[in-house]
Amino acid sequence: AARTKGEILASRGNLEERDKSLERAKNLLEDAVEIAASDVRAHINLLRLK
């Protein structure tokens, strides 16, 4: 959701907010990997974003 929000803001010309949203999404996914380290999907989602 955070990534999609950033893409919407970028389409409106707000590139700084896009970058902030991508950083938030990355942080959320990193937290998910820490919490559910054995869940492969958490790792895959993080790698997709990078």
Q: Which two tokens stand for residue 34?
A: 């820490």
How much is the pLDDT for 2? 72
Q: Beta-strand (E) ranges in 5-49?
A: none
Q: How far apart are CA 1 and CA 7, in angstroms?
A: 10
**CB within 8 Å of 1: residues ≥ 6 apart:** none
Q: Report whether pLDDT(44) > 80.
A: yes
What percent of the chain has pLDDT above 90? 28
